[in-house]
Chains A and B, each alone.
Chain A
Amino acid sequence: MKRDAFNGALVAPVRRPPGASESGAASRVAAADLPLLFELRTVRVRLGPVHALQDVTLQVRHGERVALVGANGCGKSTLLRLLNGLLQPAAGHIARDAAARQALLFQRPHMLRTSARNNIALGLWLGGLRWPDARVRADAALARVGMTDLAGRNARTLSGGQQQRLALARAWSVQPDVLLLDEPTASLDPHAKREVEALIEEFANGSEAMTLVFASHNLGQVKRLASRVIYLEQGHVLADLPVHDFFSGPLLQQQYPEAHLFVKGELV
Chain B
Amino acid sequence: MSTFSESAATALALIASFDPGLWTVVGRSLAVSATACVIACGLGLGLGAWLAVARFAGRDAVLTVLNTLLALPSVVVGLLVYLLLSRTGPLGFLGWMFSFKAMVLAQVVLVVPVVTALTRQTVEDAERAHGEQLRSLGAGTGLRGLLLAWDERYALLTVLIASFGRAISEVGAVMIVGGNIDGFTRVMTTAIALETSKGDLPLALALGLILLVVVLLLNALISGVRHWRERLDGGVVAPAAVLAA
- Residue of A110, A157, A215 near B244 (CB, 8 A) is A215
A150 to B139, CA, bound (A): 25
Q: Is the CB of B244 within 8 A of A77?
A: yes
Would you give the shortest CB distance from A22 to chain B, in whole angstroms?
33
How far apart are the CA atoms of A84 and B232 in the complex, in Å?
34
Q: Which residues of B are found within 8 Å of A52, using beta-carbon distances?
A: 245
> Could you tell me which residues of chain A, from 44 to 98, have a CB within 8 Å of some CB in chain B?
52, 70, 72-79, 81, 84, 86
Taking the complex as formed, is A236 at the interface, i.e. its CB lies under 8 A from any CB of chain B? no
Considering the complex, give the chain A residue whose CB is closest to the CB of B147.
A112
Is B241 interfacial (CB-CB < 8 Å)?
yes
Q: Is A264 an interface residue (CB 8 A)?
A: no
Given A110-B130, A123-B137, A126-B137, A77 contacting B243 (CB threshold 8 A): yes
Given contacts A113-B235, A157-B234, contact A76 B244 (CB under 8 A): yes
> What mask results when residues 100 to 119 of chain A are scored 1 for a CB within 8 Å of chain B, else 0?
00011011111011000000
Q: How far is the CA of A113 from the CA of B149 in the complex (A)?
A: 11
Within 8 A of A (CB), among B209-245: 232-235, 238-239, 241-245
**Number of B positions contacting A (CB below 8 A):** 26
Whether B136 sits at the interface, judged by CB under 8 Å, is yes
Tell me which residues from 109 to 158 in chain B have a Cβ below 8 Å from any Cβ of chain A. 129-130, 132-139, 143, 147, 150-151, 153
Given contacts A110-B133, A110-B134, A156-B234, contact A183 B241 (CB under 8 A): no
User: Which residues 137-184 of B have a CB within 8 angstroms of A?
Assistant: 137-139, 143, 147, 150-151, 153
CB contacts (< 8 Å) of A70 on chain B: these are 245
At the interface, yes or no: A154 with Cβ under 8 Å from chain B?
Answer: yes
Q: Are A113 and B245 in contact (CB under 8 A)?
A: no
Q: Which of B136, B150, B239 has the most CB of A within 10 A?
A: B136
Contact A106 B133 (CB under 8 A): yes
A127 interface residue (CB < 8 Å to B): yes
Q: Which residues of A contact B245 (CB under 8 A)?
A: 52, 70, 72-79, 215, 232
Contact of A106 (CB < 8 Å), options: B132, B153, B232, B239: B132
| B contact residues around A186 at 8 Å (CB) | 244
A199 within 8 A of B: no
- The 3 lowest CB-CB distance pairs between A and B, nearest first, are A110-B130, A157-B234, A156-B234
